[in-house]
Amino acid sequence: MLVLVVGEMTAPTAQADAAVFPLSGYEVVSATVPVAAEATGATGVDCPEGKRPLGGGVYTGDDDMRVVESFPTSSRRWAGAVFNGSGFESVMDVYVICARVSPGEGYEVAGDGNVPVAVGTTASAAVDCPAGKRPLGGGVSAGSDDLRLVERFPLGAPLSPTGWTGTVFNGGDASTTFDVYAVCAPVPTD
């Protein structure tokens, strides 16, 4: 069962001595697109004007659909791509979690690009948030149908997340690269 709550909220107020990352206008935006049989489908979802992505993801609900990538592509967009290994058209959903945040308040997307992955191997990479910042979300850009996204999760989780990590498998016939991203901000940890 998939439950989606869309609306706006304001972050709770933290103690007076703690730095507070200003966040308002929280909402989830999604798009559903068809993916042809034995093909890759990709789409991006934009946050409304004045809002930035906190995180995002891809949902397929189909064992024959393989997530290729899910990552922030710009200051407003989250992208997703899947390969449909079945003989039938299916659909994918791409989600982005958005809020109003100011770049001057410490929000940023950190990345580690062009990480090599050899044929028939699995490779992992991680990106740290800058000092004093924690990950809000993150993702992996594979850029190739031959790469399969194995995992992506907060680096150092669950006790003290400091960035984002991702792992891919290269099932193709040539070495290639992938990128890992972390959406970072100074957030209270109480």
Q: What is the C-alpha separation between 112 and 115, in angstroms, rounded?
A: 7
Instruction: State residue 13's pLDDT score.
Output: 39
Write out pLDDT tens, residues 6-43. 333 334 433 333 455 677 899 999 999 999 999 999 99
Q: What is the mean pLDDT of the chain?
A: 85
The number of residues in the chain equals 190
Write out pLDDT tens, residues 67-122. 999 999 878 999 999 999 999 999 999 999 999 986 677 888 999 889 999 999 99
Helix (H) or strand (E) holding 137: strand 134-141
First-to-final CA distance of the chain: 31
Burial of 11 (0-12, 13-18, 19+ CB in 10 A): middle
Helix (H) or strand (E) holding 80: strand 77-84
Q: What is the C-alpha separation between 138 and 105, in angstroms, rounded?
A: 19
Instruction: State residue 186's pLDDT score.
Output: 87
Instruction: State residue 9's pLDDT score.
Output: 36
Report the sign of the C-alpha dihedral through residues 167, 171, 175, 179, in that order: negative
Instruction: State residue 175's pLDDT score.
Output: 94
Are the CB atoms for 112 and 146 separated by under 8 Å?
no
Q: How does strand 122-128 pair with strand 108-117?
A: unpaired
Q: Is the pLDDT of residue 161 over 50?
A: yes
pLDDT (mean) for 148-174: 90
Percent of the chain with pLDDT over 90: 61
